[in-house]
Amino acid sequence: MTYAHPAPLTFSADRLAGKVVFVTGASSGIGAAAVRRFAAEGARVAAAARRVDRLEQIVAELEAAGHKALAVPCDVTDERSVACAVETTVATFGGLDAALNNAGIGGSQRRLHEIDASAFDRVLAANLRGPFLCMKHQIPAMFDRGGAIVVTSSIGGLVGAPRNSDYAASKWGLAGLIKCAAMDYAPHGIRVNAIAPGPTRSEMFDLWMHTEEMRAAMAAHAPLNYIADPDDMARAAVFLLSDEARWTTGCVFPCDGGMSVD
């Protein structure tokens, strides 16, 4: 079965109106789409990443459209960098209400015994320790006002796959991280969830699936039979960060076109 890719949605419901939202990995892919989507939903957005030139382009685009946004240098593997980025956001916007901890890297795409320990450590440093550091510094800023945090996991954190041990370990680890944090901080009115994207167009995805034939074959593994747009993931994050999901915490939300359905 072939399925035509659905047309992009453009409406905005202002579900994040007045909120300050911090986004990591914001210079491309899901992170950049989230910055744009959150701004369209009424948020003041801190766009955090290492590639500051790209952040500044996105922020200039949003400011020209009348939105409030801030470019913040941030390397999620460096605790001081994370702390400074969160501090800058709070100082600029007067607080912090929500965060999408989205920064991450791909795995080695090797069998377990072929993965260098240093490569394994590098994947976990970005994909698991990075969100831990972000939450460590974001949560105290939310103690007096409540808030919501979403972490970008992956279908690789829901099902096993060949040649994916390092990446899967980092993403399965996120499930434990967000479930425990959800329990710890519910008394403070802070919700913590994750989205688990399936195949989604991004720089990282295109490096891995670099031909149309490869992308078509990957799409065919999903019952919905297409590769998602980054904005599809941003919209799922909007729901989880908004008051519409006020009764949802500790959830890993599949956004995978049905690929993880048993």
Q: Give the pLDDT confidence of 143-169 residue by residue, as tens digits.
A: 999 999 999 999 989 999 998 999 999
Q: What is the pLDDT of residue 239?
A: 97
The DSSP element (H or E) to which 88 belongs, if any, is helix 79-93
Q: In this predicted model, which residue has the larger pLDDT, 53 or 204?
A: 53
3 given a catalytic annotation = no
**The predicted structure's pLDDT at residue 10:** 65
Q: What integer pLDDT is reported at residue 46 of this predicted model?
A: 98
Give the range among 134-148, 161-175, 222-236 with minimum mean pLDDT: 222-236
Long-range contacts, stretch 113-117, CB < 8 angstroms, 24+ apart: 115/165, 115/166
Judged against a pLDDT cut of 80, whether residue 118 lies above it is answered with yes
CB count within 10 Å of CB 226 equals 19
| CA-closest candidate to residue 35, choices 87, 98, 82, 91 | 98
Distance CA 57, CA 212 (A): 29
What integer pLDDT is reported at residue 4 of this predicted model?
60
The residue among 70 and 224 whose pLDDT is bigger is: 70
Label residue 207 by pLDDT band (50, 70, 90). Answer: confident
* Adjacency order of strands within the sheet including 44-49: 69-73, 44-49, 20-24, 98-101, 147-152, 190-197, 252-255
- CATH 1.10.3720.10 applies to domain 20-255: no
Looking at per-residue confidence, does 211 or 141 come out higher? Answer: 141
Nearest to 242 by CA among 30, 8, 33, 13: 13
CB within 8 A of 216, min separation 6: which ones? none
- For the stretch 75-100, pLDDT in tens is 999 999 999 999 999 999 999 999 99
Which pLDDT does position 259 carry in this prediction? 83
Rounded Cα distance between 97 and 144, Å, is 10
Active-site residue identified among 3, 167, 185, 226: 167
Rounded to an integer, the average pLDDT of 8-23 is 86
79-93 vs 130-142: helix axis angle to the nearest 10? Answer: 30
Q: Judge whether residue 1 has pLDDT over 50.
A: no
Separation of alpha carbons 155 and 196, rounded Å:
5
- Six token digits for residue 261: 């359905």
**For the chain, domain boundaries:** 20-255
